[in-house]
Amino acid sequence: MIKKNVLPADTFVVINKTVLNDQDRKLLVMLYQPIIGQVAISLYFSLWSYLDKNELFSKEWTHHHLMTNMRMKLSEIIEAREKLEAIGLLKSYFKTNHINHYAYLLYSPMPASEFFKNPILSTSLYNNVGDTEYNKTVEYFRMPSLNLKDYEEVTCHFDEVFEAIPTSSLEHLVGDIKRRNHNPIELLSKIDIDNVFSLIPDELLNRKSITKETKDLIYKISFVYNLSEDETSELVRNSINEKKMIDKDRLRNNSRKYYQFEHSGKLPSLVYRNQPEYLRKPVGDTSPRAKLIYQFETTSPYDFLCRKNKHNTLSKSERDILSYLALDLNMKPGVMNVLLDYVLKINDNKLNRSFVESIAGQWMRSNVQTVEEAMMLAEKEYQKRNRLVTKKKNVVAKPDWFDKTIEKQEASIDEQKEMEELLKEFQ
Mean model confidence pLDDT for the chain: 82
Describe the crossing of helices 316-323 and 301-308 by its angle, rounded to 10 degrees: 150
pLDDT tops 70 at residue 33: yes
Looking at the DSSP bridge assignments, the partners of residue 91 are: 105
pLDDT tops 90 at residue 128: no
- In our burial notation (b when 16+ CB lie closer than 10 A, e otherwise), range 345-365 reads ebeeeebeeeebeebbeebee
The kind and range of the H/E element at 102 are strand 101-106
pLDDT tops 60 at residue 150: yes
**pLDDT score at 401:** 46
Burial class (CB in 10 A: 0-12, 13-18, 19+), 187: middle
Burial class (CB in 10 A: 0-12, 13-18, 19+), 292: middle
**pLDDT score at 423:** 58
Rg of the chain over CA atoms, in angstroms? 34
| CA distances in angstroms from 128 to 93, 131, 384, listed in the order given | 31, 9, 40
> Among the residues of 193-287, which ranges form H helices?
193-198, 212-224, 229-237, 248-262
> Among the residues of 53-118, which ranges form H helices?
63-70, 74-86, 112-115
For residue 269, how many other CB atoms are within 10 A of its CB?
17
Q: Indicate the domain borders of the chain.
A: 11-109, 116-137+187-270, 277-393
Tell the CATH topology of 11-109: Arc Repressor Mutant, subunit A (1.10.10)
How wide is the angle at C-alpha 257 spanned by C-alphas 265 and 86, nearest 5°?
Answer: 85
Q: Which of 282-286, 348-352, 418-422 has the lowest mean pLDDT?
A: 418-422
Q: If you ran DSSP here, which 8-state letter would residue 400 be given?
A: T
The residues, ordered by sequence, that sit 6+ positions from 350 with a Cβ below 8 Å of its Cβ are 344
Largest CA distance in the chain: 151
The 90-95 sheet, strands edge to edge = 61-62, 11-16, 101-106, 90-95
**pLDDT score at 153:** 84
pLDDT tops 90 at residue 354: no
Q: Is the pTM of this model over 0.75?
A: no
pLDDT tops 90 at residue 45: yes
With beta carbons less than 8 A apart as the criterion, state whether 64 and 56 touch: no
pLDDT tops 60 at residue 402: no
**pLDDT score at 413:** 67
Mean pLDDT value of segment 54-64? 91
pLDDT in tens, 81-93: 999 998 999 999 9
| Stronger pLDDT, 191 or 103, i.e. the higher one | 103
**pLDDT score at 420:** 66
With beta carbons less than 8 A apart as the criterion, state whether 106 and 44 touch: yes
The residues, ordered by sequence, that sit 6+ positions from 259 with a Cβ below 8 Å of its Cβ are 225, 267, 268
**pLDDT score at 50:** 94
Residue 29, φ and ψ in degrees, nearest 5: -75, -40
Q: Which of 217-221, 226-230, 291-295, 395-399 has the lowest mean pLDDT?
A: 395-399
pLDDT tops 50 at residue 265: yes
| CA distances in angstroms from 23 to 51, 108, 112, listed in the order given | 18, 10, 10
